[in-house]
Amino acid sequence: MSSRANKKQAAKVVREQIARERARARRVWVSIAAVAVLVIAGLVGWGVYSSQRSSSFTAPAHATANGDGLVVGAGPKTVELYLDFICPACRNFEESGGSSLNQMAAANKIKLVYHPVAFLDRASTTQYSTRSAAAAGCASDAGKLPEFVQAMYANQPPEGSAGLSNDQIIQLAHRAGITGSGFDTCVRDGKYRPWVQHVTDAAVSRGVTGTPTVFVEGKQVEARLPAITQALGGGPVG
Amino acid sequence: MSITDRWVEARPWLGTLARLGLAAVWMIAGGTKIGDLAASGRAVAAYKLMPVEVARVVGAALPFVELALGVLLLVGLATRLAAAISAALFIVYIVGIAAAWARGLNIDCGCFSRGGELAPGQHANYLPEILRDVGFLAVAGFLVSWPRTRLALDEWLFRGETA
């Protein structure tokens, strides 16, 4: 080989070496950028969620001490019910056991605590879970929560629909015996929407991730009336 | 043309298919969750694998990370890294679902949906979910092994570089 060919060869090796180095540097920078994109995406998610959470809320009348439930009755033992107004299993529960529980509460045999949560906002196109749970707060203000709950489940909209409009909820409430314009404006203004978020967050913090969920004296039991009466000590129903 | 030659020729296009498929998976998974970040946090909390406050952070961040992964794969930027992170996430999901199954939890996996505990009478069916994620894991594995795909930004950025 001539020395000229050797030099050419050497220059080529060096060029290739430089190209490889550059490519490697590019690769490192692209990787760093990609990781940065993912990290920033995660932070954006956290930021969006944080900004969506409101920190202050007003609890309705008859709320529990920590504000995450609505109390009916004043019996010695406490039955807590986590419910979502668009959840079909909650309607089944309400139809099979709701009236018995409400009678026990009305007779002050139990303290019945309703926790209206908004787990299923995506099951309607209008955040029906949040709106209806907020309306339950308004019904508690009016002192007619059990009647309201019953009327709402008797007219439960199907999952995937727009749900009941605020006006329809108000009409149902009127038929269930709620009077006065306070309720109407309370529903229309979404007065208790921040409170519903509080109830929902508190439920999750307690480990409740589905509805209906029932606690008797602070212990979770199967969401069926026989299991509840058994946990209460097998006393007569109703 | 030998079979090996055909394979070498077809591989970058197969990779493109894998990359776009995985991109679609992430964009659908992230997109269905992004509208209700609180629900996403509940879905994570339902696995009962971490404190609720941590689950809320993870649940809020995850849909955005999934979408970002989808975009990286869609444009073909840092394909091997994105595929490796995808594979790691699929392994985490598979372990999470298997753990929920093993502990007898009755939850919606929250994979492309709202998640949370299932109603009484509804029973979780974990096996198809695990098998699906194993399939996604295999696709991600393909891209980790052969990250050079056609119609990718990587192809343009690293052109002239030997594989």
Partner residue opposite B68 with nearest CB, options A38, A197, A224 = A38
Mean pLDDT of A162-179: 96
- Whether A38 and A93 map to the same domain: the answer is no
Banded model confidence at residue A237, pLDDT cuts 50, 70, 90: very low
> Which of B96, B57, B19, B15 shows the shortest CA–CA distance to A204?
B57
Residues of A in contact with B116 (CB under 8 A): 119, 209-210
Q: Are residues A45 and A74 in the same domain?
A: no
CA-to-CA separations, A170 to A31, A94, A138, A176, B60, in angstroms, rounded: 56, 20, 10, 10, 34
Closest chain A residue to the Cα of B32, Cα to Cα: A122
Q: In what helix (H) or strand (E) does residue B107 lie, and over which residues does it extend?
A: strand B107-108
Across residues B104-109, what is the average pLDDT?
88
Query: Which residues of chain B lie closer than 8 angstroms to A222, CB-CB?
Result: 120
Write out the residue range of the structural domain in which residue B137 sits: 3-157
pLDDT at A4 > cutoff 90: no
Indicate whether A101 belongs to any domain: yes
Residue A57: inside a domain: no
Structural domains in chain B (count): 1
Q: What is the pLDDT of residues A95-107, one digit of tens each?
A: 999 999 999 999 9
Once rounded to an integer, what is the mean pLDDT over residues A189-215? Answer: 94
What average pLDDT does the segment A192-205 reach?
A: 95
Look at residue A219 and tell me whether its pLDDT is greater than 70. yes
Q: How far is B3 from chain A (nearest CA, A)?
A: 31
Domain identity same for A44 and A112: no
Tell me, yes or no, whether B126 lies in a domain.
yes
Residues A38 and A78 in one domain: no
Q: Does the beta carbon of B96 lie under 8 angstroms from any beta carbon of chain A? A: no
Distance CA A80, CA A70 (A): 9
pLDDT for B119: 73
CB of B111 less than 8 A from some CB of A: no
> Is there a domain that residue A65 lies in?
no
Sign of CA pseudo-dihedral A173, A179, A184, A187: negative
- Does B9 reside within a domain? yes
A127 and A171 housed in the same domain: yes
- Using CA atoms, how far apart are residues A191 and A203, in angstroms rounded to an integer? 20
The Cα of A20 is separated from the nearest Cα of chain B by a number of Å equal to 7
Q: Is the pLDDT of residue A23 over 50?
A: yes
CB < 8 Å to A208, chain B: 117
| pLDDT tens by residue, A123-157 | 999 999 999 999 999 999 999 999 999 999 999 99
A235 pLDDT higher than 60: no
Co-location of A100 and A166 in the same domain: yes
Q: Is residue A95 domain-shared with residue A121, that is, in the same domain? A: yes
In chain A, % helix, strand, coil (3-state, to 5) comes to 55, 10, 35
- Residue B162 belongs to a domain: no
| Same domain as A40, residue A11 | yes
Q: Cβ distance B46 to B118 under 8 Å?
A: no
Which of A27, A87, A197 has the CB atom closest to B158's CB atom? A27
d(CA A208, CA A203): 5
Out of A23, A33, A204, name the one closest to residue B42 (CB). Answer: A204
Same-domain status, A1 and A110: no
Set of chain A residues whose Cβ sits within 8 Å of the Cβ of B62:
42, 45
Residues present in chain A in total: 238
Selected residue of B19, B37, B106 to mutate for chain A interface (largest A Cβ count, 10 A): B37
When pLDDT is averaged across residues B130-147 and rounded to a whole number, the result is 97
Distances (CA, A) of A203 to A206, B98, B130: 5, 25, 28
* B38 close contact with A: CB closer than 8 A: yes
Q: Is A93 in the same domain as A151?
A: yes
State the smallest CA–CA distance between residue A117 and chain B in angstroms. 12
- Which residues does B146 contact at the CB level (< 8 Å), separation at least 6? B11, B12, B15
pLDDT band at B163 (very low <50, low <70, confident <90, very high): very low
Beta bridge partners of A219: A216
Among residues A181, A63, A214, A75, the alpha carbon closest in space to that of A133 is found at A63
Question: Does some domain include residue A157?
Answer: yes
Total count of residues recorded for chain B: 163
Answer whether residue B31 shows pLDDT above 80: yes
- Where is average pLDDT lowest: A74-83, B109-118, B127-136? B109-118
- How many domains is chain A partitioned into structurally? 2
Cβ–Cβ below 8 Å for B154 and A30: yes
Query: B54 touching A, CB under 8 A?
Result: no
Q: Which residue has the tokens 């303290």?
A: A111
B69 part of a folded domain = yes
Return the residue of B nearest to A34 by Cα: B78
Question: Could you tell me the CA-to-CA distances from A17 to A9, A12, A14, A47, B156 in Å, in that order?
Answer: 12, 8, 5, 45, 19
pLDDT tens for each residue of B37-87? 999 999 999 999 999 999 999 999 999 999 999 999 999 999 999 999 999
Chain B's closest residue to A84, CA to CA, is: B119
Which pLDDT belongs to residue B63? Answer: 97
Average pLDDT over chain A, rounded to whole? Answer: 93
* CATH code at position A195: 3.40.30.10
Q: Is the pLDDT of residue B158 over 90?
A: no
Question: At B158, which helix (H) or strand (E)?
Answer: none
In a domain, A62, yes or no: no
Confirm whether A59 is domain-assigned: no
Per-residue pLDDT at A6 exceeds 50: yes
A176 and A207 assigned to the same domain: yes
For residue A35, pLDDT over 50 is answered with: yes
Q: Which helix (H) or strand (E) holds A100?
A: helix A99-106
Alpha helices in B35-125 (DSSP H): 37-46, 52-75, 79-102
pLDDT at B162: 53
Q: Which tens digits make up the pLDDT trace of A54-91?
A: 778 999 999 999 999 999 999 999 999 999 999 999 99
Q: What is the distance, to the nearest Å, from the Cα of residue A98 to the centroid of all Cα atoms in its chain? A: 21
**B contact test, residue of A49, A200, A213 with most B CBs within 10 A:** A49
- The Cα of B68 is separated from the nearest Cα of chain A by a number of Å equal to 6
The widest CA-to-CA distance across chain B, in whole angstroms, is 60
User: Which range of residues forms the domain containing residue A37?
Assistant: 1-52
| Residues of chain A positioned with their CB less than 8 A from the CB of B81 | 31, 34-35
Structure tokens belonging to residue A153: 């489940």
In this predicted structure, what is the pLDDT of residue B161?
62
**Which chain B residues are Cβ-neighbours of A85 within 8 angstroms?**
none
Burial B78-110 (b: 16+ CB within 10 A, else e): bbbbbbbbbbebbeebbebbeebbeeebbbbbb
